Chains A and B, each alone.
Chain A
Amino acid sequence: MIRRLFIGTGVLSASTVWAQRAVVEREGSGKIAINLAGYRAGSDTASQTFLSVLKSDLNRSGYFTVTSSGATINVTGQVQAGSQMKAEVQVYQVSSRQRLLGKVYDAPAAAARSLAHKAADEILYAVTGKMGMASGKIAMVGNRTGRKELYISDMDGKNLRQITNDRSIIVGPKWSPDGKNIVYTSYKRGYPNVFITGRSKPLASHGGLNASGVISPDGKSMAVILSKDGNPELYIKSLRTGFLKRLTTSRKANEASPCWSPDGNHIVYVSDASGRPHVYIISKDGGTPKRISSSGTENVAPDWGKNGYITWCSRIGGKYRIVVGNPAARTMRTLETDWADYEDPHWAPDGRHIVCSRTSNYRSAIYLLDTLQDSPVALISGSGDWYSPAVSP
């Protein structure tokens, strides 16, 4: 079921010309002006969708301003679609007339959105050398059916699809490292067990609590919170043999929310061993955990990005805010947000944006935060509550 959702971008055949990347002068806004006025789109719906999604993706990336005149970068080419879609994209630096990208995309017309996301990421990479986020997917929990089910959307909040129909409760979805499946806690068998999409047998179904499962970057094991030995503790479970290794022994404390370091050697998690919930790092081999959060009355829900930074949620002055910390330099900063509560932050694949939930007046929505300069953007709101977002790798 899940696998089908991802083949859209797999069918692409492409002829690529990678030119040497040029150093691009930035405009006054700190953004690169990019002009798509010369891009020709057919009058069919798929072609129009492709162009409008491409423009919004470029704007949302944080690096570009889409303009119709006086740009640093010109995008030319054309898109046409019948049942099959063909999009030709040329990217030029205006001053030097140097071609930065030349590519032809071929895909079924139904894949217009994912094709545009892919083109947006490749344009960003060709111009700046940075990874984009447009092709990412967001997994989240929604309650619009009256039950708490798992949903997936594209990175722009569109293409929202309900994935589970367990008629139960789903908590804490996390992507598998290959981006093809989602691990989550569900009560569909009566007790909280850890499941993965595409497989009916649970990954963890011990006595007591089985929660917060998250698969290691090498795909071989899962960090998980279990209470089978009498207290919620952090374990690593081998996905091949089922062998369990217990990492924490805090009989008087709770552990929650593990997340692997990008190299898979450490795990960041929450423990209230000090009396209040704080964020800790422990080696995958165990040993003494190191606390990394200091202020705030609660520090929860850490996510360790591929950029090396950890983002988590901290209760500061009675509000939940998003913190970004550098575990190596032991520095951190709090993102500027309004009076609402911002929780469950998760790095986007560009390592610049953070997807999180925003709660105001007891209603939750999914928001995109920029760690650099742009204002928060609502991605999914209305029709019930949306929360616990996780972004595909």
Chain B
Amino acid sequence: MNKMLFKLIIFTAVASSLAFVGGCRSKNANSADMYGSDNLYGDPLMGDMPLNDIGGLPADGDRSVVDPVFFAYDSSQVNPEEASKCEEVASLLKKGKYAGVICEGHGDERGSREYNLALGERRALAVRDYLISLGVDPSVIQTKSFGEEMPSDMGHDEGAWRKNRRVEFAMY
């Protein structure tokens, strides 16, 4: 009995120290200076920046603050002419006007729904990477892909599709 109790104490101690180490590591991973400013926009996605668990973080925000970033067909590259919108978001976050942002990725109606979910997520992650390269703390940027499920234009032509391939900024 005592032996079991002892084991439990040891286990608890080890578990909490592991949790402590884990906590430190994620804190380091969240500091922006770990990632150089050589993440150029327009580059293929860097794709190695772990995301936070969303527990307790807001799931919604104000989408009217900064206009959406638009994308080419089947592409998740942030085009140079769209970059200024990301810069605006970065500046608002760095000034502390908002606590964080949800980058909401969308696609047009063409292609499979599940593939478009992944594509929307890659668009959101590309914007997130660019924001990180501008010095935004990764821990305040969430991504959320809606795939083709939430078009902003209900039309079925290139004009509508162009408006639907986007990442919206939900600021909170």
Contact = CB atoms under 8 A, between A and B. Distances in A.
A192 B117 contact: yes
Interface of B: 44-54, 59-60, 74, 111-115, 117-119, 121-122, 125, 142-147, 149-150, 156
A362 B60 CA distance: 30
A-side interface size class:
35 or more
Ranked 5 nearest A-B pairs via Cβ: A190-B59, A207-B51, A231-B47, A251-B47, A254-B118
A212 B46 CA distance: 23
A231 B125 contact: yes
Contact of B115 (A148, A206, A208, A277): A277
A313 B46 contact: no
Contact of B114 (A148, A212, A252): A212
A182 B140 CA distance: 34
A343 B111 CA distance: 9
27 contacts: A148-B149, A169-B149, A171-B117, A171-B147, A171-B149, A190-B54, A190-B59, A191-B142, A192-B145, A206-B53, A207-B50, A209-B117, A211-B145, A212-B114, A225-B118, A227-B51, A227-B118, A228-B51, A230-B48, A230-B50, A252-B44, A256-B114, A257-B112, A272-B115, A277-B115, A298-B115, A344-B113
A191 B113 contact: no
A300 B116 CA distance: 10
A300 B150 contact: no
Contact of A256 (B54, B118, B146): B118
A92 B46 CA distance: 67
B112 A301 contact: yes
- Say what secondary structure dominates the interface of chain A: loop
A200 to B, nearest CB: 16
A313 B112 contact: yes
Q: Which among A189, A232, A301, A313 has the highest number of chain B CB atoms within 10 Å?
A: A232
Contacts of B45: 231, 251-252
A205 B149 CA distance: 19
B114 A257 contact: yes
Given A169-B146, A206-B53, A229-B51, 14 more contacts: A148-B149, A172-B113, A190-B54, A191-B54, A207-B54, A207-B142, A208-B142, A211-B145, A225-B118, A228-B50, A251-B46, A256-B115, A277-B111, A313-B112
A229 B121 CA distance: 12
A232 B46 contact: no
Given A208-B121, A227-B121, A257 B145 contact: no
A385 to B, nearest CB: 11
A255 interface: yes
- Say what secondary structure dominates the interface of chain B: loop
A270 interface: yes
Nearest to A257: B114
A126 to B, nearest CB: 39
A114 interface: no
A301 B150 CA distance: 20
A300 B115 CA distance: 7
A205 B53 CA distance: 8
Contacts of B74: 272, 276
B40 to A, nearest CB: 15
A185 interface: yes
Contacts of B150: 169
Interface in A310-355: 313, 343-344
A270 B111 CA distance: 12
Interface string A172-193: 1000000000000101011110
Nearest to A361: B156
B52 A207 contact: yes
A230 B114 contact: no
Contacts of B52: 207
Contact of A209 (B53, B115, B145, B156): B145
Given A169-B149, A277-B115, A209 B59 contact: no
B122 A254 contact: yes
A172 B117 CA distance: 10
